[in-house]
Amino acid sequence: MRVLSTVLCSAFLLAPLTIGTLQAGDYGYDEVERQQELLGVWYEVREANAERGDTQAMFDAGMANYVGRGTPVDHAAAAHWFQRAAGDDEPRSHYYLGYMYAVGEGVAVDPERSLEHYTRAAELGHAEAQYWIGSRFTGGAQRDDTAALQWLTRAAEQGVPEAQYSTGYFHEHGRATPRDAARAAEWYSKAAQQGHRSAQIGMGRLHQSGRGVPRDRVQAYVWFSRAGDEERIRSLQAQLTRRDLNTAETRLREEPGLRAAAAR
């Protein structure tokens, strides 16, 4: 069965490469139908493996039912398989169950069970769950800056840009940690390079004021431009010479690896 699963997965991965080379009409059915048949067989194999106790297959079966891959969308079935996989402490399954219990997809709304699953996913190292838990502690009746920073930092270390920005914000403003603009700049920079708009603006502010990084109004202009912050761009333009603006434009062209700002 493992060999069959491997063959089917390989066939599924290679199948898209044939589009445009072979004419679907030559075989009496179109490519979409062919792909659906392959997905259906893939699901049957994964579900059979899940029934035998394969934890990864349980998660795959849950996701397939959740999004309708190889089988119709069935949130109750998805919850069933996620529950089975979560019993083996599969972190992604805990994360999805956290969401499903929060919104009532396939299960009844249950805030307590939602929190339990999110927390367990975070404890098992799921980055998005760590960010969710950290964000939960940032405000409201459950505000706990120390716990928030601990969870946000763990998610930030795994590359979640929203967590990197939030961690930088805590360091800049001294929440649960001494004020440290240099440390804030380190985290803002990581998020900014992934296109996080608020982090790009944060980098611009720090460069403009010279806090935590060398004062560099040209670089501040570059970051504000990356973020598309028109108000700050116009304000800074009035302070820069034509030579400064040319330098800024050159830097913008020479840093293609930086992502454009995302809406956050």
What pLDDT, in 10s, does the model give residues 189-235?
A: 999 999 999 999 999 999 999 999 999 999 999 999 999 999 999 99
Confirm if 78 and 63 have CB atoms less than 8 A apart: yes
pLDDT tens for each residue of 66-117: 999 999 999 999 999 999 999 999 999 999 999 999 999 999 999 999 999 9
Does residue 161 sit within a domain? yes
User: How far apart, in Å, do the first and last CA atoms of the chain sit?
Assistant: 45
- Whether the per-residue pLDDT at 24 is higher than 50: the answer is no
Does residue 157 sit within a domain? yes
Distance between CA atoms of residues 132 and 147, nearest Å: 12
Does residue 198 sit within a domain? yes
Does residue 108 sit within a domain? no
Confirm if 133 and 144 have CB atoms less than 8 A apart: no
- Give CB contacts under 8 A, 24+ apart, made by 109-114: none
pLDDT average, residue stretch 231-244:
96
User: 65 in helix, strand or coil?
Assistant: helix
Does residue 68 sit within a domain? no
DSSP state of 29: S
- pTM: predicted TM-score of the whole model, two decimal places: 0.84
Distance between CA atoms of residues 164 and 187, nearest Å: 5
| Domain total of the chain | 1
Burial class (CB in 10 A: 0-12, 13-18, 19+), 212: buried
Does residue 184 sit within a domain? yes
Q: From residue 200, how far is each of 73, 191, 227, 231, 234 by CA, in Å?
A: 39, 8, 6, 14, 16
Q: Which of 204, 161, 211 is nearest to 182 (CA)?
A: 211
How many Cα atoms occupy the beta-carbon half-sphere of 206 within 13 Å?
A: 26
Confirm if 117 and 86 have CB atoms less than 8 A apart: yes
User: 66 in helix, strand or coil?
Assistant: helix
Does residue 217 sit within a domain? yes
User: CATH number, domain at 254?
Assistant: 1.25.40.10
Q: Which domain holds residue 208?
A: 143-264
**DSSP-assigned beta bridge partners for residue 22:** 19
